[in-house]
Amino acid sequence: KIADAFEKNPEAEMVVGNLIFDYADHTFLRNAEIDYKKIMLPFRYMFPINPVSYFYKRSLQKEVGPFPLENHLTMDYWFLLKAYQKHKLIKIEDYLGTFFMNGFNKTSGADNRKNTHYRVLDHCWKHDRKNLPYYLFNYYKFFYYEKTPFNFKKLKSKARKNLSRAYSILTLKKNKYYSERLFQSARSDYYVNRRFKSTSKVLSSILFNPKSLFQRSRQSFIVQSTLGPKILEKLKTAYFFLTTPPGLPLANKLHYYGTEFKKSNKFVKGNLLLLLTYLVSPRFILKNKRPLRSIRNKFSLRKLFNYLNPLFWARGLINFFRFKKYKSYSSEYYIKAREKYYYHKNFQSVFLLLFSFIIYPPALKNISRLNLFMYSLAGNSLAEKFKFAYHLYKDNPEYTFAHKLNYYGNEVRKEGKVIKGNFILFCAYVLSPKYILKREKIKKLNVVSENATFKIPKHNSSISAPSRLSNYKNHLRNLRSTGVGFDTRFKNSLERSAYRIKRAYHYFRYRKFKAQSKDLYAQAIENYKNNKRFKAAMSLIPSFILYPVSIFNRNKFGLMINTITGHSLKAKIKGENAE
């Protein structure tokens, strides 16, 4: 259907369809819009909320650009806004996929209203400012005027609340509280590298409460936010240089570090420290070994010729600006590696990423490239498992990690994956032993009925052994006559052996036959109640054969005795015991 839609509309770059939403207790349908202004208002209209409901050409992806990996929750909505804005779309009235809101995915656990609001604001500010008033008008109209009608009582309470806050600020009643709140927000801004905001908030907190200026925490934080982390590190190293070790004079430290810097070819820094050493203590001038020889080596004729040679300066400039050129090459290799990883070509993506790191070594600091390198090195299956474990740990922070593992382990056990579920539960018990007492009992019957997908084909018992041998010989002759190669015959023999192993496994696997044995036992009870003892015995005997452990079941064994002996013998035995 998608191919037909693209063939009928060759100018179209994207085909959009409808979507099915599947919750745990109900299902409903979603019809997506193809108008750009409508999907800007997700609170009124429905946009294609899942990528299974739209298909597009590669040229559209290249024009829009790569997805922003740092935007973890609305990167698909970012793509749709840019695609709807300038490209041609068509709509087909078909349901192209199902979206399961199972509680483990990002959409079902996120604040979708807030995330889409921020995403549309960012898109309008960067790419479409003329539609920003349109979006803001509809947003505030929908959330603040249509849903909650305007009333004077709420306005009166809000005005009273704001006036009480202003009164408390002017009368210095709650200034300490507001000052502390500003200080906490300033600290959070500083840790996100917003130094200007943090300094302004700290100074405003001191204006609210001037007594807080005498606190050591505020003073140190003002110094941190004004100077920045790099200058602070340098000041710390200088402080430790001056104070440790306490018994050694300052001139000895300066002389030692100056000579070390000169040995590592940092002549300007080393000579500056040595000059400070000579100013602090002139006796260190005599300790400088062979100064004339070092000056002669430094200002030799060869170096003088290099300084006068323009090729030397040109080579230095090339080496200085070399990384700018290779940075673009490295980013191109990174984009190619992402494409290879998308098409499950992990070895090629690893090779391209290694080449990009060799060309531009500072790219090792990029977290997205390192993540892609690890995912492509680990493979698709392991990468998916790592991603799932990360989201299991990161999402829903109101629950502990042990609680999530306990819940997920029980769900896996209910699906029939007992080894995997028990391993996850063991990890949960190691983290929090209290969940051992809360272990759920899983009904094996449900597990078997859900997972018993492999059915053993029934053999026709009427065929004799000689006829089977003759059929097998005829089959081999047909294979030889048709000219089947050795590879296909070897593959068929492997498939036959695997089938026999599965057949033996299902023969000795009691879980499946336990369910069948229970069904036969239920039929035997009904036949016994209807006085059909022979049929009850005929259904009990295969139930014992299918699941021999059920012999130790008292109810089943008693039913077998009752069907054999009958009511009369049972009554006689009871009467003798009574006498």
The CA-based angle 372-368-58, given to 5 degrees, is 70
The CA-based angle 26-30-31, given to 5 degrees, is 160
Can you give the pLDDT of all 579 residues of the chain as single tens digits? 999 999 999 999 999 999 998 887 788 888 888 899 999 999 888 888 888 999 999 999 999 998 888 888 888 889 999 999 989 999 999 999 998 877 677 777 677 888 888 889 999 998 888 999 999 888 888 887 665 555 556 677 778 888 887 777 666 667 788 888 888 888 888 888 888 888 888 888 888 888 888 888 888 888 888 888 888 888 887 777 777 777 778 788 888 888 888 888 887 888 888 888 888 887 777 766 544 444 445 545 566 666 677 777 776 666 655 666 677 778 888 898 988 888 888 888 888 888 888 878 888 888 888 888 888 888 877 777 777 787 777 777 778 888 888 888 888 888 878 888 888 888 888 888 888 877 777 665 443 333 333 343 444 444 555 665 666 666 666 655 555 565 666 667 777 787 777 766 666 666 667 778 888 889 999 888 888 888 888 888 888 888 887 888 888 888 888 888 776 555 555 554 444
d(CA 556, CA 540): 8
In terms of Cα–Cα distance, which of 75, 94, 77 is closest to 85?
77
CA distances to 257, 380, 403, 408, 431 from 399, rounded to whole Å, are: 53, 28, 6, 13, 13
Cis peptide before 245 (omega within 30 of 0): yes
In terms of Cα–Cα distance, which of 251, 312, 315 is closest to 283?
251
pTM for the full model?
Answer: 0.30
